Structure formats: structure tokens, C-alpha cells
Amino acid sequence: MEHIPTTWYLLLAAILFSIGAGGVLIRRNTLVIFMCVEMMMNAANLTFVAFAREFGSTTGQVFVFMVMTVAAVEVAIGLAILVELYRHVKSVNIDSFDSLKG
Amino acid sequence: MVEYVWLTIAFPLIGVLINLFFGRLLEDAFSKWFKRSEVTGFIGSVTVVLSFLVSFAIFLQALGIEHFSHQVKLWDWITIGDFHVAISFLVDPLSIIMLLVVTGVGSLIHIYAVGYMDHDEGSARFFTYLNLFVASMLVLVLSDNYAGLYVGWELVGVCSYLLIGFWFFKPSAADAGKKAFIVNRIGDFGFALGIFLIWSTFGTLDYMEVFHEVGASHGEFASVINWVTILLFVGAIGKSAQIPLYVWLPDAMEGPTPVSALIHAATMVTAGVYMIARNNVLFAMAPNVSLVIAFVGAITAFFAATMALVAFDLKRVLAYSTISQLGYMILAVGVGAYAAGIFHLFTHAFFKALLFMAAGSVMHAMKGVIDMRRLGGLKDKMPETYWTFLIGAAALSGFPLITAGFWSKDNILVKAFELQQPNQAFGIILYTIGIITALLTAFYTFRAVFMTFHGEPRDKNLYDHAHENRRVMTLPLWILAIFSIGAGFLGLPSKLGLPNWIEDGWLYSVMAESHEILEHAHHFAHIGFGLEIALLSISAVVALVGIFGAWHVYIRYPQIAVDTARYAGRFYQLVLDKYRVDELYDTWIIEPGKGLADILAKIVDMNFIDKTLVDGSANSVRGLGHIMAILQTGYIRNYVMVIFVGIVVMGVYFFLL
Amino acid sequence: MAAIAVIFSKNAVHSALFLLLNFIMLAGLYILMSAQFIAALQVIVYAGAIVVLILFVIMLLGAELGESVPTWFTPKNMFVALLSLILLTLAGTAVKRNFPENLSTLNTPSDWGSVENVGMALFTDYVLAFEIAGVLLLVGIIGVVVLSGWERKIEEIGPTPIKQLPDIPYIQQEDIF
């Protein structure tokens, strides 16, 4: 099997993370922001797996398993909150949620 | 057994906890079978009785051991630098005798209160406070250092406040509670200063260490000791209701009668006497201060007795007599007769508690009426109360030979007579005041007896309502009555070759050091057998004359009293108005104080503190808040942006720098 | 790449589909790394569950067009892009600096990521983590139920006297929805 060096995976993870972070900041659609957050998590997962392979351990993969669990729960609850929010504000534009304004 | 002394405090505290948290619940749970006060009262009484049993066991252990003195240390309380205070108890004859008085009389009063409070809804609260009081008082008498003494001192003050104001819906009771508390604070202030002075001088608050250091010194602490004793005595003035701070005690009668009996007659008010006796070494080394103390005591005794002569409220008569008897005790410790003071404290606790409880029994039977002008002729309606009250009254007036009050009071008077330093004349003056007071005491005590129990009933309705109280109330009366007679034989005059167990035996080890100091200074003259007999006879005659006088005036020729009152006119009115001391304080202390407070409030507080400091700080915070609020846009994206920028900045910092 | 497309699609549905593509790509990478278990999870959980859920909500809310007038090249967005680039550079530098050479992974056994091995690890050494994951999921389920169902139930059943006052005739119960 071909062996792609770990470094490349790490760089890819960095790119994915940066794109995700930029997306969170640029986009106004809350759902898209959600997706970007997921993407950032995936970047983290990628580094976990890359290092796990590097050291030949299963710990990293267990960690990924945990992250995925958290992600699933987060999406479920986040989307539920979003639906409720939508009922109140009739919008998914993140800038319309400004009731925290001081 | 000594190491279990903490149990005496723990038991009442358990009672406090149970009654405080579950009292109402238990009362409700058992309401089918028992009255409310019986449930919580049972808990309260049992805990105090247990405490008494422990005390008694300790007493038995200590009996017959010379120089019995144990320090029982529980744990360190405060340790700051070289300032150490331990929660630790001193068990010696003096604290044991106080233990017995507090828990013994305390248990009887608890039992009595079960009957007395049976019409009251707040019995759970009542017994909580009462148990708390017992625990606090035990802290006061058991502590082996001044810090613990002060804690107990303040705790009993709080309990006193709570219990005087127990019927807080009565404005007079609430006011009386506040008055007692505030007047006591004045004394406590001096007391605290005294303790500070002790610490700054000796670097310790432990009794034994302080006494040891004082004993080892050669007069270099003389002026400090003068100040310490004066300040401590200021505390005693407040707590033991001496002139000029006695004004709170008569008003304290607004509380329930068991409270008056326990706190304002038998135990708490004697704390000042106990404290002076405990510090007998210090006070023996300050003869001038002691002389002042003796005079304060004597004058208090006399004035209070005159006020008791004219009061119409039965409980107030007893309150003034308490002040008067406390005056005797203070006189005793002032002339250096510490054991005599404690002995009088011991007997007084019995007969004054008895008198109060008997008075409460009358009050309970008469629907709360306590004005002697409406009583009368109750002898046949309430025979048990009458006889026990009579015994208490005999003890209080010093009925010769058989009552406790006779022996303990005479002991004090003889000691006053013997006083030699600085001048024999002082001793004679103190004795004279004391003996005149004894005459007045006998007179007003039996005035109360005759007006309440003899003669024609003055209020027919009330008289018909009267009934003897339940056993739970009369039994404690009888027990106290036995002690009111029997306790006197513990301290017979040794000059006559009779055994004075309490002074020469029990308390001797505690007082040995001060005894030596006084002996060294030729403090007392030692009078002979004949003179002692003569003094005893004078006391006896005086008591009998007083009782006879009361009978003469109030039973045989009731007109005399009315005529005298009319004849004395304005003076009578003055005494009846309690010498207008309250009004005097009002004009000279409270009004100027209010004026000063007004000035401070209107000018300093409103202009400077409110406008500049309070409003200023609020305004500055509000201004800052407005600035910060701009940052709070409410747009989540902005917050995320800030986080993101922060991460990048941190990354740059860590990786590139 | 697919990731870029996620953030630049105007339509949220397109974004989601690109995200799906992205996840599947990652799954492929995991297989390349011979982490079969993770790859399977990636496909099932992310691609299968999460993206589908997101898509479902998008369509439910009709929220395809979050920004009606997309303005891409505002100064703020430029600033964000700059920040992202800086972050990328930083991460890249970190990777390069800490792992300068091509790390050898040859000694890693090829079956380290098999379902069997990961399963063994999950149920032996990390059994507590596994249990916690289960509890977490349960909490998530309850949370969602509470969030989406509870309040409306109370609104419908519970006493809301103001709404049901009969003397406001023009408000019909149906009008609330």
C-alpha cells in the first residue's frame, strides 16, 4: 500500500480547518455556519487519525469515535434549537438573532 | 468523666437542632395525643436534664479531690501568628458549681415551662431559644479563656434578646428586648476592651496563663490590672444590671416568666459575678477598683430595694429585688469575698427562680394579670403556689436560721464589716447600706406576699377564675423550695465553729491565690466569736422587723400605706417613676445621640457619602457599562470574530515569536 | 475543492451537498490510511446522518437562501479571508517545523484501524468512554425532545387563558399557525 506522509494529512487538516473557520465568519445562513463547524470538526478528526496511524495506536480512533458522537448530538440539539429559533424569528440569518444585544 | 464535659453543651445543642428544624413537625405529628408545648418541651427538658446528669457525675468525681482542676481541650479555634485561642474548657470547683446551677435550675425551669407555655403557639421556638440559652451559658462558664467567655457572654445576650422579645407582636416586649440588648452592648464594649487589653499585655487569653503571669509579677502590671479590672467590671455592670446600666432588667420582665426565672434571675445576670470571681486574682490585686465595685454593688442594692418597695407589678418587684441581690453579690466580690459572692449566687439562683416561677404560676392562673393591686387572697385558691412562694420570700428576706438567703446574705455582710483596707470606715459604711437594704428587702418581699396571697380579693372575677396549676408546674416549685432552705447549710459561718463547706472546702482551691494576696494586705480584720453572733443577730432582727413591718402595714392597718404614700407625695411619685432614670437617660444621652445622628445623617451622609461615594461609584459603573454595552452587539458573528482573532493572535505569538 | 464550494455556494442545499462530497472524500482518505472503522463511521454518521439531518432542516425551513443579496468582497470578508490565510500559514508552519521530515509509517501494522482492533480497544481500555458516549446520546435525545416538543405541548394543552378569551372574536385558534 502506498504511504502518504502524515505531514500531508496534517496540512490538509489545517486547510480544511481554515476554510471552515473562514466560512463560519463569512456566511450568514445559520445552517451553513453549522456545516462549517462540522467541517472544522472533521479537520480535527483527520489529525487524530493521522497521528493515530503515525503511532499505530487505537486511542486516536477512539477519540474520533467520541468526537463523532458529540458531533451527532450537537447537530441534533443545534438543529432543534434552530427550528425553535426559526419559529420565533422567521429567519435563519444569524444577524437577526440579536436579542443578546447590550 | 471530666473529658466528657463537652456533652453538657452538646445535649442542649442537640435539643436546639431538633426543636429548630423539626419542632413544629413533631408538634403537629403528636398533636393528637399531646399539647404542643409538651412535645417540644419534652425534648428541651430531656436534653437539659441529661446535661445536668453529666454535670452531676463530674461533680461527684470532683468531690473530695483537692485542687481539682482540668483543662479539656477540644480543638484549636483561632491561630493567627502567636495568637492562639482554643475551644477548651476549664473544669474546676467554680465552673462545676455554675454547671450545677445552670443545668439544675435550668432543667426545673424547662419542666415548669412545659406547663407554663401550654397556651402558646410558639412553644417550639421558645424551647429552641431556651436550650440555646443553656448551651450558651455553659460555654460562658466552662470556657478556659477570655475569648470563649466573651463568645458565651454575647450568646447569652442574644438569647436574652430573643426571649425577652419572644412575644414580638407586643411592641413593649419588642422594645424591651432591644433595650436589653443595646444597654448590654454598652457594657460589652468595655468588656471587649478589657479583653483586648489583657491580650496586648499578656499575649494570651488563657485564664491560667494570665493568672500565672500576674502572680509571678512584682507589681509591674499594677496600672494595667487597674484598667483591665475596670473594663471587665463595665461588662459586669451591663450584664449583671448594676447602676447605671440596670435599666434593662425591669423591662426584661416582658418576656415569658420561665425566661425571667432562668435568665433574668438565676443564671445570665449572675455572669458578671461569676466573671469577677473567676478573675479573683486580678481583682484582688486592684484594691481601689474593688472598692469602687463594692460601692456600686451596695448602692445598687439599696436603690433597687427602694424601687421594689413601691412597684405594683409582682414581676417587677422581683426584678428589682434581683437587681438588689445582684448588688449584694457585686458588693461581696468587691470587698474580696469571692466565695461569699458565689455562695449568694448559688442560693439566690434557687430562691429567685422559685419566686419567679411561683409568680408565673399566679400569672398563669390569673390570665396574665400580674398587678398586685388586682390580686389578693389567693392563699386558699392556690395553696401550693402560696407555700412555695412563702418559702422563697422567706429566703429572699433572710428569715433567720432556716433559710438559705439568711446564711448567704449574712456571710456577705460580715465580710463587708470586716473590710479593713483602705479604711475601716468604708467597711462600716458598706455594712450599714447592706443592713438597711436587708430591712427593705424583708419589707418589700412580704409586702408582695401579703398583697398577692392575703387579705381580701380585690378583683372578684379574677379571683374566681384562679386555680392551682398542674403538677408539671408545681413540682419544680417544691424542688426549688427544698433547695431554698437546704442550700444555706452548705455555707454556715465558720467563725461560729460551724462548717462552711462551700467557702473553706469546695471553692478554696480556686480562691487560694487571691486569698493569699488579700491576707498579705491585711484586707480583712478577723472579728471574734461574740461580734459574729452580734452581727448575725442584727441580721435576724432586721429580717424579722421587715417582715413584721410589712404585716403591720399591709394586713393590720392597710391605711398606713395609703397615708404614707400621700404624705410622701412627690418623693413617692419619684420612686414610683423609678427615679426617672429612664427619662434622665432619654434627655441626656439618647436625645443628644439622636441629634448627633441627625446631623451626621443629614449633612455628612446625604451630601458626602451618598452623593459622592455611593452615587459616584454607581454612576461610574453605569458609564463604564454603557461603553462596554457597545461591544455587546448581540451579533453572534461578531463574537465569533473576536474569538477567531484572538486565536490567530495567540498563534502568531506562540509560533512566530 | 469541495470544502471551498461549501462556503461559496449561494444555495444552502448546494452547500450541504458539497459538504457531503467533502465528507466522502475524507472517508476515502481514512481508507487510504487503512482506518476502515473510522471511514465507515464517517460515511454512516456524517454523510448518512448529519448531512441528511441538515438537509432535512434546510428544506423544512425553506432556508436555502440565507443571504438574499450576497456581498462577497466586503472589507470585512477580506479581513476574514486574511485571517484564515494567516491561520493556515501558522498551522502549516507548525506542522512543517515540528515534522520536518517525512515520517515513516511503515512500521504501523496495516490492520491497526480494522473494526476488530478498534472494537477491542473500545470495549476494553476505553469502555468508560464508550458508556459515556452512550449517555451523551441519550441526553441528546432527551434534549431534542424537550426542545422541540415540550413547549408546544404546554402551549396547546396548558392553561393559557389570555389566548382563549372569548371576547376577542377575530382571533381564531387556527390563526395562530
**Residue-wise pLDDT tens for chain A (102 aa)?**
456 677 778 888 888 888 888 888 877 778 888 888 888 888 888 888 888 887 777 788 888 888 888 888 888 888 888 888 777 777 667 666 666 555
Give the contacts of C89 (CB within 8 A, at least 6 positions apart). Answer: none
Is residue C20 assigned to a domain?
Answer: yes
Give the contacts of A56 (CB within 8 A, at least 6 positions apart). Answer: C107, C108, C109, C112
Chains in contact with A, where contact means 3 or more Cβ–Cβ distances below 8 Å, are B, C
Q: Do B641 and A97 touch (CB under 8 A)?
A: no
The pLDDT value recorded for residue A1 is: 45
* Percent of chain B whose predicted confidence (pLDDT) is above 90: 0
Task: State how far residue C50 is from chain A, nearest Cα, in angstroms.
Answer: 6
Is residue C21 scored above 70 in pLDDT? Answer: yes
Q: What is the pLDDT of residues B320-368, one digit of tens each?
A: 888 888 988 898 888 888 888 888 888 888 888 888 888 888 888 777 7
Is residue C177 assigned to a domain?
Answer: no
What confidence category does residue B564 fall into, taking pLDDT thresholds of 50, 70 and 90?
Answer: low
Task: State how far residue C100 is from chain B, nearest Cα, in angstroms.
Answer: 15
Q: What is the pLDDT of residues B172-190, one digit of tens each?
A: 888 888 888 888 888 888 8
What confidence category does residue B235 fall into, taking pLDDT thresholds of 50, 70 and 90?
Answer: confident
Q: Does C86 touch chain B (CB under 8 A)?
A: yes
Give the contacts of B645 (CB within 8 A, at least 6 positions apart). Answer: C83
Q: What is the pLDDT of residues B405-436, one digit of tens each?
A: 888 888 888 888 887 766 778 888 888 888 88
Q: Which cell is B242 given? A: 448594676
Report the residue from A28, A94, A101 with minimal CB separation from B632.
Answer: A101
A6-91 carries CATH number 1.10.287.3510: yes
Give the contacts of B439 (CB within 8 A, at least 6 positions apart). Answer: B542, B543, B545, B546
Q: Do C102 and A5 touch (CB under 8 A)?
A: yes
Q: Do B640 and A25 touch (CB under 8 A)?
A: yes
Q: How many domains does chain C have?
A: 2
Task: State how far residue B630 is from chain C, nearest Cα, in angstroms.
Answer: 19
Report the residue from B641, B651, B656 with minimal CB separation from C87.
Answer: B651
Full-prediction pTM beyond 0.90? Answer: no
Is residue C132 assigned to a domain?
Answer: yes
Q: Does B641 touch chain C (CB under 8 A)?
A: yes
Q: Do C6 and A59 touch (CB under 8 A)?
A: no
What confidence category does residue B639 fall into, taking pLDDT thresholds of 50, 70 and 90?
Answer: confident
Q: What is the pLDDT of residues B578-617, one digit of tens each?
A: 666 666 666 666 777 777 777 777 777 777 777 777 777 8
Q: Does B650 touch chain C (CB under 8 A)?
A: no
C-alpha B28/C-alpha B26 separation (Å) is: 5
Tell me B86's DSSP state: E
Higher pLDDT, C13 or C44: C44
Taking residues B271-288, what's their average pLDDT?
86
Contact criterion met (CB below 8 Å) for B90 and B144: yes
Is residue C153 assigned to a domain?
Answer: yes
Q: Which cell is B616 given? A: 459616584
What average pLDDT does chain C have?
Answer: 72
What confidence category does residue B267 fall into, taking pLDDT thresholds of 50, 70 and 90?
Answer: confident
Taking residues C5-32, what's their average pLDDT?
78
Question: From the CB of residue B390, how many other CB atoms can be counted at a distance below 10 Å?
Answer: 17
Report the residue from B641, B645, B651 with minimal CB separation from C90.
Answer: B651
In the block, cell 441534533 appears at A76
Q: Which of B371, B336, B337, B345 is nearest to B102 (CA)?
A: B345
Report the residue from B632, B633, B637 with minimal CB separation from A25.
Answer: B637
Q: What is the pLDDT of residues B541-557, one digit of tens each?
A: 888 888 888 887 777 77
C80 chain-B contacts, CB cut-off 8 A: 641, 644
Residue B569's Cβ-side half-sphere holds a number of Cα atoms within 13 Å equal to 2
The pLDDT value recorded for residue C177 is: 42
C48 chain-A contacts, CB cut-off 8 A: none
Interface of C with A in 9-38 (CB under 8 A): 12, 15-16, 19, 22-23, 26, 29-30, 32-35, 37-38
* Residue-number span of the structural domain to which C151 is assigned: 126-159
Taking residues B490-515, what's their average pLDDT?
71
Is residue C168 scored above 50 in pLDDT? Answer: no
Q: What is the pLDDT of residues C88-142, one digit of tens each?
A: 877 777 777 766 555 555 556 666 767 777 777 778 878 888 888 888 888 888 8
First to last CA, chain C: 42
- Residue B83 phi, psi (nearest 5): -100, 110
Task: State how far residue C70 is from chain A, nearest Cα, in angstroms.
Answer: 9
Instruction: Among C66, C88, C112, give the residue marking a domain's end.
Output: C66
Q: Is B57 exposed, middle or buried (0-12, 13-18, 19+ CB in 10 A)?
A: middle
Is residue B226 scored above 80 in pLDDT? Answer: yes
Q: What residues does B84 pair with on adjacent strands?
A: B79
Is residue C130 assigned to a domain?
Answer: yes
Tell me B606's DSSP state: I
Q: Which cell is B422 given? A: 483602705
A88 chain-C contacts, CB cut-off 8 A: none
Closest CA in chain C for residue B641: C80
Angle, helix B171-202 to helix B207-216, in steps of 10 degrees = 50
A89 chain-C contacts, CB cut-off 8 A: none
Task: State how far residue C87 is from chain B, nearest Cα, in angstroms.
Answer: 6
Give the contacts of B281 (CB within 8 A, at least 6 positions apart). Answer: B211, B214, B215, B513, B514, B517
Q: Do B634 and A100 touch (CB under 8 A)?
A: yes
Q: Does C78 touch chain A (CB under 8 A)?
A: no
What confidence category does residue B43 fall into, taking pLDDT thresholds of 50, 70 and 90?
Answer: confident
Is residue B566 scored above 70 in pLDDT? Answer: no
C-alpha B598/C-alpha A39 separation (Å) is: 70
* Percent of chain B whose predicted confidence (pLDDT) is above 70: 91
The pLDDT value recorded for residue C109 is: 67
Report the residue from A14, A26, A80 with minimal CB separation from C147.
Answer: A80
How many CB pairs lie under 8 A apart between chains A and C?
232
Q: Do A15 and C88 touch (CB under 8 A)?
A: yes
Report the residue from A19, A56, A79 with minimal CB separation from C53.
Answer: A79
Is residue B400 scored above 70 in pLDDT? Answer: yes
Q: Do A25 and B636 touch (CB under 8 A)?
A: no
Name the residue type at position C85.
L
The pLDDT value recorded for residue B535 is: 81
Chains in contact with C, where contact means 3 or more Cβ–Cβ distances below 8 Å, are A, B
Task: State how far residue B38 is from chain A, nearest Cα, in angstroms.
Answer: 58
Task: State how far residue C84 is from chain B, nearest Cα, in angstroms.
Answer: 9
Task: State how far residue C81 is from chain B, nearest Cα, in angstroms.
Answer: 12
Q: Which of B43, B50, B95, B48 is nearest to B68 (CA)?
A: B95
Chains in contact with B, where contact means 3 or more Cβ–Cβ distances below 8 Å, are A, C
C-alpha B355/C-alpha B375 separation (Å) is: 16
Q: What angle do CA B490, B112, B42 make, to 5 degrees?
A: 115
Report the residue from C7, C109, C147 with minimal CB separation from A84.
Answer: C147
Ordered alpha helix ranges (H), B498-569: 508-520, 529-551, 558-568
What average pLDDT does chain B have?
Answer: 81
Report the residue from C16, C96, C103 with minimal CB separation from A54.
Answer: C103
Closest CA in chain C for residue A55: C108
Q: What is the pLDDT of residues C81-95, one digit of tens each?
A: 777 887 787 777 777
Contact criterion met (CB below 8 Å) for B313 and B253: yes
The pLDDT value recorded for residue C51 is: 85
A44 chain-B contacts, CB cut-off 8 A: none
